[in-house]
Amino acid sequence: MKNMIQAGWHQAARICKSPYFNQRPLNEVSGLVIHNISLPAGCYGLPHIDGLFQGCIDTNADPSFSELVGLEVSAHFLIRRDGEVVQYVSCDDRAWHAGVSSFNGRENYNDFTIGIELEGTDTEPYTNEQYQVLVQLTLELFNEYPMLNQSKIVGHCDIAPGRKTDPGESFDWQRYLGMLSG
């Protein structure tokens, strides 16, 4: 497999750097967290996700954005509905995607995971392009970071239960994991 990730940056992604990251406390990448996002909820292809992760979202653009004022959040990747990959933070750095998090005896999932956002909602099916690109990106990350494997992939809902529900009931875990194995 061709090395698509160099110095933490995916060579085929559209780069849209976020200020919301810092150095990982351990030099470890050993997990993936799958999320979803759409701004406004259920609206796709708009520039607001880039704006949020870059700290320049126009919070007056939609009434629902009032809750985003002052929010400092990012992810490593976004996979848009059409399969476009956007990268905000180097995989070698800690993106601020997980928040307060704990699972299987580990806390602070930002410290050691890569956050992948899917443009979508908990209830609307993801696109074929998103699944294909997510599988390809996951395999490239496995190739680059040897501590990663299929057993270390979680949803945001798994590490922040009661607080987060994404990637939601619409995410087909069986399809994704089956495609990874196949």
Q: β-pairing, 31-37 with 102-103?
A: unpaired
Structure token pair of residue 68:
């985003």
Selecting among 117, 119, 140, 144, the annotated active-site residue is 117
How far is residue 149's CA from residue 20's CA, in Å, rounded to a whole number?
A: 26
Long-range residue pairs from 22-27, CB within 8 A, at least 24 positions apart, any chain: 22/93, 22/94, 23/93, 23/94, 24/92, 24/93, 24/94, 24/111, 24/112, 25/94, 25/111, 26/111, 26/112
Question: Does residue 140 have an active-site annotation?
Answer: no
The set of catalytic residues is 117
